[in-house]
Structures are given as structure tokens and as C-alpha cells.
Amino acid sequence: MILVIDNTKDLRTWINFNKKKDATIGFVPTMGSLHEGHITLTQKSKKQNTFTIVSIFVNPTQFNHKQDLIKYPRTLGADLEMLKPTGVDIVFAPSVFEIYPKGNHYGADINLGGLDKYMEGAFRPGHFKGVAQVVKRLLEIVTPDRLYMGQKDFQQFTIINYMLKNLKINTKLIVCPIIRESNGLAMSSRNVRLSPETKEKASVIYKTLKAVKKYQHTKSITELCQYGIKKLSVKPFKPEYLTIVDGHTLHPITDINNSTYAVACLAVWADDVRLIDNIILKNEI
């Protein structure tokens, strides 16, 4: 049986009682409405740690649009069923007050090294301030040895990694690969809002990313981006951006040959649902 804890005090009591010398805690922060992507993060944590804690918390401070927050799927019962076979030790499902007892803006001003200026940050002002704020707060409560995040949110894990180093937080970030539907669509909690037809047609997103990767040596960056945007501009999709960036700085790059870590990132609207995805073009590390 999974132990579900909804308050910080009980969680701290459990951790202090159970975390003996040499035991490690793996932590998977989520906003619920779980899918295979979340489950693989949890399984990886289970393999690498004595205890695994999954949080389910729809963080209000990272939403720019009230409607998006309201429409965000909340499915705690189904989430617990999905988590059962993973053997997760604790699901932490706190209220907003437990996370922000001093108000939603408390502790939001975290230095993100300018990494929040690009891509998602440009189109969703304040989003990463909210993400960093909630992750920092959750790390204070859970005090994990390892933190598990998905490559799906490339800019997010890059920013969190910066925060961990900058604030000297003693937690190691483990990034896990993108889990996809059989047609290539990256799994996302928002996919449940897509119609079956749109979901099927959304295979164009990963096809575009794979084509960009294929042509990276024969087209310039400008040509690659134009090509990708054109390929994504088919009904009902509306691309918001397709950018090729340096994987460390997230700055758009002008020449892949001069880069050691190049990533193509995109956001696309599918009707009223916003989807993001990315592909690593080159990583020489």
C-alpha cells in the first residue's frame, strides 16, 4: 500500500524516523495526471535509492493563464493506482498552503542566471520563477539525495540544475529520456485534452524533430528552423517557436559545427493545447 501524506510535518516525521545512516532518498516531483513518463522516473529512482518519494502538486505559481491552471487535469485516485506497481514509498500530495504558508510569492525570487529568458521563458513570463520556487520549496521539505526530472522539459531541468549548483543544494539531478506514445508524441499530462484525431496527427511533431536532426549537416540553422516551422504548420497545429540552442546556456546558436551541445526545442499549439518537445542534435560531452 502507498502511504499518502498531505502535510510537511508528517512527511518530516516519516523521513527522520526512516532515514538511517547510508539510506538515500530519491524524489520525483510531478503535477499528477501521471503517465508512463512519470512512471519511468519513479522506477529509476526506486532502482537507485533506499526510498522514493513522488510529489503530486499542481503548482499555481508556474501557470501564466488562470484557465490553464483550472483546466489542468487532477486525477489523484488514478495516479495512485498507476504508482502502486512501482513500489514507491510515499506520495506527497500537499495543499497550496502547505507549500506556501507565507503566501504564493514567498521565496519566488531565485536567480536563474538568465536561463529563463529564452523559449518557454519568453512565451510564458514568470513560469520558471514559479517552477524554481516550487522545486526549491519541495527540496527543503523532502531533502532528497537525488532528484529525477525528464528531458521532455529541457529548459526546466537545465534551470533547476543551475539553481542546485548556484544555491549549493546537495541534491544530484538525474535526467531521464523522453517517453513517447507509439506515434512519437511525447507523453504529457496535457495530451488527455487532445481529440483522438489531433493526437494521431501530432506524430508530425516528433517527425519534424527527427527530420531537423537528419538535415543538421546539410542545412543552415536558419534553414532548419524555417523547414521545421513549415512542417509543423499543418492544421490544427500552430508552431510557437522552433529554436536550436546550446544545451548549457540555452542561447540560440548560429552554427552547429561550432557547438558541442546542440538541442532543437519547440512549442506548438494543437487547438487550445500547448505542447513542447525537443531533440538533442549533438552532445559531445
Q: Give me the long-range contacts of 188-191 (CB less than 8 A, separation at least 24).
A: 188/35, 188/37, 188/152, 188/275, 188/276, 189/31, 189/32, 189/33, 189/34, 189/35, 189/72, 189/73, 190/72, 190/73, 190/273, 190/274, 190/275, 191/35, 191/273, 191/275
Closest separation in Å from C-beta 218 to ligand AMP:
29
Q: List the interface residues with ligand AMP, window 167-186 (CB under 6 A).
A: 176, 178-179, 186
For ligand AMP, the binding residue among 11, 15, 30, 127 (CB under 6 A) is 30
CB under 6 A: which stretch of 36-44, 82-90, 197-205, 253-261 binds ligand AMP? 36-44
205 is an interface residue for ligand AMP by CB under 6 A = no
Which CB sits closer to ligand AMP, 186 or 244?
186
Give the interface size with ligand AMP as a residue count (CB under 6 A): 16
186 versus 225: smaller Cβ distance to ligand AMP: 186
Task: Please give the Cα distance from 192 to 91 (Å, whole number).
Answer: 22
**Catalytic site includes residue 65:** no
For residues 43 and 188, which CB has a smaller minimum distance to ligand AMP in the complex? 188
- Letters for 243-282 (x = contact with ligand AMP by CB under 6 A, - = none) are ----------------------------------------
Between CA 119 and CA 186, with CA 218 as vertex, the angle to 5 degrees is 40
DSSP-derived secondary structure for 120-169: HHHHSTTHHHHHHHHHHHHHHHH--SEEEEETTSHHHHHHHHHHHHHTT-
For residue 189, state whether it binds ligand AMP (rule: CB under 6 A): yes
Residue 188 binds to ligand AMP (criterion: CB under 6 A): yes
The residues annotated with a catalytic role in the active site are 38
